[in-house]
Structure 1
Amino acid sequence: MELTGATWRKSTRSGTQGDCVEVADNLPGVVGIRDSKDPTGPVLTFSPDSWRAFITHAKGR
């Protein structure tokens, strides 16, 4: 999966120690997820619909 041009961001609720995930949702057809402590490590990818369903479920809505 080509993620060149991905813009990675963390939640505004992340702590100052950086132990969190980063999301790149600016690419067409794919959402990337990575560990903020290992930005050159593996990336999980999801379709935008799958990611939206996950977020909706995680929020309990």
Structure 2
Amino acid sequence: MTFRRKIYLSIEELQADLDAWILTYNNDRNHQGKIDCGRTSMQTFINGKEAWCDKITTLNC
């Protein structure tokens, strides 16, 4: 929807807006759903990584 509001004159201009949108989407915007539970995508990723490391450490003992 956002990208329908602007006419891009170069791929670099489009890439800059896309990069900014991805940062906001992953780091600032809260997500709903069974896995995210109101966290950002990055928070969900970091928590999942920590849980995975804990599980692997337990299995390797």
Please, what TM-score do these two structures have when normalized by structure 1?
0.31
Structure number with bigger Rg = 2
Whichever structure has more helix as a proportion of its residues is 2
Please, what TM-score do these two structures have when normalized by structure 2?
0.31
Whichever structure has more strand as a proportion of its residues is 1
- Greater RCO structure (CA 8 Å; 6+ sep): 1
